[in-house]
Structure formats: structure tokens, C-alpha cells
Amino acid sequence: MNERDSWNAFITRVEPTEARPGPLAGRTLGVKDLFDTAGVRTTYGSRLYADHVPRRNALAVERLLSAGAVLVGKTHLPEFAWSVLGQNPWYGTAHNPTHPGKTTGGSSSGSGAALAAGLCELALGSDTGGSIRLPSAACGTVGLKPQWGRLPLDGVYPLVPLLDTAGPMARSVADVAAMWSVLAQEPVPEPRLTGVTVGLLRRPPGIGDGRETEQSDASERWVADLERLGARVVEAQVPEPSANTWPQFQHEALRSHAATFPGRADEYTEVMRIKLEAARRATPRA
């Protein structure tokens, strides 16, 4: 591959192969290194899996390749995708091509960076608590967190299975829609806003631990455009959870690492050890 990865967007580069025919034929694809890829190193952003080479593709990867996308690399992520930043002690920091010196966001950090740098046309990410949306916003690209359970997670290392999603990332809404169609095995959604009701959310809900979330009116800037395209924009609010949801998150994350933690705790970074030790102390009443 000729393009120089000055942004550390990839953990592993792959020489492109001939594209299969299909709706994504010849489109270059970066895959978050949380998804298994047959015959290609898949680290999950961890030292524990630095030499791990799966035998099979994750189902989402297989669908994209079968539709003609061409794999060009496994993209950067923080260790086991548990961070909102693009930093990884084992594989370095992903850098933001759109806003140099600022974070790429995480955990689909390399997918956002690779798209913004023009190193691939399409990218596959995952989102548990913002991991597609944050890099897309930070790098000026497009990403979609679909409905839970909408896209396959077979062959993806879990963080919190209750909340994990796979999702398409690209540089345009049209490309994201084309990827979603392939991943969901449904027709490309009709591009229309006429008659659609859009909620204007000024404050995201909390996680039930008593901390207030920050209010922002930044989304106001898109209201006029949405209404001009036929949408009806209304004030919206997501109800606060009735209980603290953080212990559930911790419980599921700990289960995801049962095979290697605490047995191989010394092979995790200090930050991950602290998170998982805290998870071991969590109780249903926490």
C-alpha cells in the first residue's frame, strides 16, 4: 500500500485483493481491530492478543467483503475498546487528520482517522457508549450507531453485550446507507425527511448515578436545514433511568474478560486493571 499512515490509524495494514462483484465492489475498507478477520492479525487493542490470527471473519466483515468491499487494514482502537479516546499504550495514539492536535475520539478511533485521512473509503466500527459517534464527530466523518441487535456481532470481542453494536462509518451519508444495507441485508433506506419527526435533544440522559449531564444548544444550528428538507423538529427528552446502570455495565464487562482476568491481569494496562478490579467490587445495589 502506497499511502503513508502518518496518523497511526491502522494497527495492521493489508495488501488489497481483487474485489468480488457487488454493491460495494472495489470500495476500500478499514475494519476496527475488534472484529475477527480470517488470516489477518486481530489484536482487540490488547497485548494479550498481539499475535492472534483468527480463522474466520466476523459475520459483519464477511458481509461487507462478499458485497465487494476490499480490506486494506485493521484500524486502531484503545485496549479492548474501553475508552472514549484514541490512545493505546501498546499500539500508540491515533491522530486526528481533520483537527491536528485534537483527539480522534474513541473507541473506533482508527476508523474515524483512516476515513478522514483518505486511507479508506469505508470503515467498520463498534459502539457501546459513543464509540462510533464520537470519532465521527471528532474527525468530521459520518457514522451510524444502529438499533441494538440490528447488525450481527458474531466474531466481535464483546465489551458490554447488552449495549454493544456494530455500525458503518464513511465520509458520506450515502456510503453509510449502502454499508448499512449490506450489513442488515435490507434495501438501502429511502433518502427523505418529509413527514419525519426529529427530536431536538438538548441534554442527554445520565446513567442513573446522580451526576448531571451537560446541556448544549449546539444542535440548534441544524434545525432550519431539517425543516427546509421537510422534517418536523420537536423538543425531546430521554427519560432518566430509574436506577444506577453502571454496575450492570461493569458486570457485563467483567464477564467479557473472564477467560483472562484476573488470571492474566499483569498483561493488561494499569488503567484496564483498575476498571476491571472496580467491576469485581460492583454489586447489584452499588
Active site residues: 32, 107, 131
Q: How many helices (H) and strands (E) does the chain have?
A: 7, 10
Distance linking the first and last C-alpha atoms of the chain: 50
Other beta carbons within 10 angstroms of residue 171's beta carbon come to: 19
Helix/strand/coil for 198 = strand
Cα separation of 280 and 253, whole Å? 10
Other beta carbons within 10 angstroms of residue 180's beta carbon come to: 19
Cα separation of 145 and 77, whole Å? 17
Of residues 30, 27, 40, the one with CA closest to residue 66: 27
> In this structure, are residues 24 and 69 in contact, taking their beta carbons and an 8 Å threshold?
yes
